[in-house]
A and B are shown apart, each in its own frame.
Chain A
Amino acid sequence: MDFVAQLTLFVLAIFLGVELITKVPPTLHTPLMSGSNAISGITIVGALIAAGSDSSMLINVLGFIAVVLATINVIGGFMVTNRMLAMFKRK
């Protein structure tokens, strides 16, 4: 993907983000933050490639660290968000 296409995505996604997030009520700001932690765990995509690639030891080690950290974010983030949102749902 060329740079301009990437930059286009980046800028448009920021505008989309601002539009979306200003509509999230203050009541849900904490789950919003833990939820965005969870989705920023998308770096797991790069982490998996680095960890599973057939290259140097250093790259595999960095990959392993990245997989661990990103998985903590994904699993921990989604689970704790779910736990909080369940409290808002009842009644």
Chain B
Amino acid sequence: MQNWIDIAYLIAACLFVLGIKGLTKPKTAVRGNLLAAAGMGIAAVVTLLNEHIVTYEIIIAGVVVGGLIGAVMAKKVQMTAMPQMIALLNGFGGGASFSVASAEFFRGSATDTVSIIATGAAVLIGAVTLTGSLVAFAKLQELIDGKPMGFPGMKLVNAVLFIGSIVGIGYLVLNPGNEMVFWGLVAAAMVLGLLLVLPIGGADMPVVIALLNSYSGVAASAAGFVMGNSALIITGSLVGASGLILTSIMCKAMNRSLTNVLFGVMAEAGEAMDEDEVYAGKVKSTSAEEVAMLLETAQRVVIVPGFGLAMAQAQHAVRDLADTLEAAGIEVAYAIHPVAGRMPGHMNVLLAEAEVPYDQLKDMDAINPTFEQTDVAIVLGANDVTNPMAREDKGSPIYGMPILNVDKAKTVVVVKRSLSAGFAGLPNPLFAKDNTLMLFGDGKGAVLDITTALKEG
């Protein structure tokens, strides 16, 4: 019997792999997701045949409560709030692994060194993921201030908590079943999770979410070692690898190392650049009608969306503009910087929601070489990711950060309320370039005005 159950778990693991493989193309992605869901169904059903399961009341209650909460979250969540939802799910994943490992501990099933270490690891990583994700959620949801928070000696406290946890696990290896030490480990891990995420600023949350995603996988894997369950080990490491790759992509996009995001602060600017010096007398303002005239003669237009666009709920207005341009035979593409949204791939989802065809969404490496053949680049709610100082000024705090080379386009139209700085707090020389026109105003209103002017003209 046990062999059949294990084979069913293997089938489930294979379906997860095929599910992720489906996600490598938009066309096969829906099917991939369904395959993975089928794998989960198989794994859950065969588990119910386990000889240790004798009562079903608690299971049914848990599945009903969890299922309802999950379904409501999935149906109701706004696409702009997706990072918060993922943060919560990361935390719940960590919490589930933590609870499973704790239950195994109290059952006294872990007696050998390996399973005790695995239990300790699952509890430690699971609890850190749980409380850390709740902080990330609170910051993204703006329940607490997004600014870095901390106190003097915080790093020392973190080090003590971490080393204490490791020592606690070591103690449990020598004295299995010591409940006092176990609860101490739980408390230390939970506080550690809070303290690790509190000092990280709101702008760095994409990295944190990806990293916690990875942790939740590693915690599941550790729980798999405790239970000797291959499905958990395989799935956990797949998720762990996924989160780690996304973390590294996000770090590269922001030109920062992981250590710098987790423990450091943004590099201090050697000398604050004077805004007046950058902008004085060089900024040219334009109107929606002028932009419409420019667009009429263009052959290729690239739209550069930032999160400001999503905040203004202007995605549909932008799609209308793109449709109008395309109807006039003008080629349209969207340039998506990896950190354009608030989590990996976020901007793509926001645009897809407005029914922008996904083949028009170009990532940074694909779009950058094409700006020179672009007649008009329209920058909407993006700032730092277009700042040419990242490419040219070695003294700049953002030097080396990969940017969208919009300034290479023949004309750049920047739609913005004012000349205010972005997250990095720096002036953007792009706004003062000869080929740049500023269209001051609300993003959505400006786009609507341009579209109207195009249709009338």
Contact = CB atoms under 8 A, between A and B. Distances in A.
Interface string A67-82: 1111111111111111
Interface size class of A (residues with CB under 8 A): 35 or more
B24 A25 contact: yes
A68 B63 CA distance: 6
B116 to A, nearest CB: 12
Given A52-B52, A73-B93, A78-B40, A36 B242 contact: yes
Given A53-B52, A89-B29, A91-B357, A17 B240 contact: yes
A37 B355 contact: no
B348 A42 contact: no
B43 A45 contact: yes
Given A67-B59, A87-B349, A17 B242 contact: yes
B106 interface: yes
Given A21-B245, A35-B33, A41-B40, A72 B92 contact: yes
A50 B50 CA distance: 11
A83 B34 CA distance: 12
B102 A62 contact: yes
Given A26-B336, A58-B106, A70-B96, A90 B355 contact: yes
Interface residues of B, number: 112
B100 A27 contact: no
Contact of A51 (B59, B224, B226, B245): B59
B99 A63 contact: yes
Interface in B32-62: 32-34, 36-37, 39-40, 43-44, 47-48, 50, 52-56, 58-59, 61-62
Contact of B70 (A39, A50, A75, A85): A75
Nearest to B365: A26
B425 to A, nearest CB: 27
B436 interface: no
B53 to A, nearest CB: 4
A20 B100 contact: no
B70 A73 contact: yes
B363 interface: yes
A14 B93 CA distance: 18
B92 A39 contact: no
The 4 A-B residue pairs whose C-beta atoms are closest, nearest first, are A71-B66, A67-B62, A17-B241, A29-B345
Interface of A: 1, 3, 6, 9-11, 13-14, 16-18, 20-56, 58-60, 62-91
Given A10-B234, A17-B20, 20 more contacts: A1-B228, A16-B238, A21-B241, A25-B24, A27-B345, A29-B348, A32-B23, A32-B345, A39-B238, A40-B236, A41-B40, A42-B236, A44-B47, A50-B103, A63-B62, A69-B96, A70-B92, A76-B69, A84-B82, A91-B357
